[in-house]
Structure 1
């Protein structure tokens, strides 16, 4: 019986690197990174890492359960799942551990465990020059907007800060092409995203001043739709 028990433990240890077996030490957690998830945002406190193990501690402050993923680059986008935790209930905290080599990744929170998620791009590098370049193109928050019929969803209740840099991703769920314009409090256009039917578009926008910003959507043959974005 003793030899059989040892054999079972050997199989279990081989099956998962996150389980401590026998007299082995627990797997080190490495760098600790807090993540705050809501129904409209996914805030990663640090976006620059050195290679190795990273533990994302995810606090879900939304009203619905969220899935959290780390994606690696695959082709022209980020679709390769590196690590995932499928369900962090509302009001709870979960951990997502990933071993990351040098490169660029995206951390995604998926409220309701649906869609592409609210994404934040992170960089792993032991080269100061690369890290500095990544810091210049990084953003503070990822915001996902959906265009459905005559509505814009994803920014209700969202309050941003002056100077905040957001990665704005638009998903067009209508049957026609739509263009979303970002207007500052003076009504000046600062960004423009065109999304084909059932397509997506993404850009980074710096919200330079406090006030009521506007997201305005236009399309051929349909009335324009606007939604306020509060910056204060």
Structure 2
């Protein structure tokens, strides 16, 4: 049975995770899924800990019949969090015991509104050469909204974009690498109405600011 790796970068906000991961897991029934999750030490006004965040996620994932592992970061840095999950994913892919068909990039505040039919996607024999981006096509390339990267595409166009020591926003680093290196050799599907960002309202209520890309010249200053 093929396995799907879900790569996630998280902060400490279980109230969001119950919604986003809860919905994601609902659509992963009958799939073989392993989650690789980085938890940064950032919380809202409830001061939720990384340990509590891990426990909540682990409980949700295991109760749905899937497996998971976590990186508990000492400092909050989006680029480093991305590199952490990418490194673990690469180690798993290089272990031939795992029949991995691809990865799903999934940020902790993205809510999937419609069934992506993950089982159909990952059981397709050509899945390793496909990208399924559950968001609009406006960027003309994959973004950090929920996105399935077939194994061959991930190895050639996703993972290499994070190999450098870099303080740039990781999403922009990935998009830049894609635009420079993609030559239409892989098929990309866009699902423009499938996901929505529900994290901004949480940030506002908890008085957390994220960097403004334009003002910071795309430097990866994460949370203020």
Q: Output the TM-score relative to the length of structure 2.
A: 0.28
Greater RCO between the two (CA within 8 Å, min separation 6)? 2
Query: Which is higher, the Rg of structure 1 or of structure 2?
Result: 1
Higher share of residues assigned strand: 1
Q: Output the TM-score relative to the length of structure 1.
A: 0.28
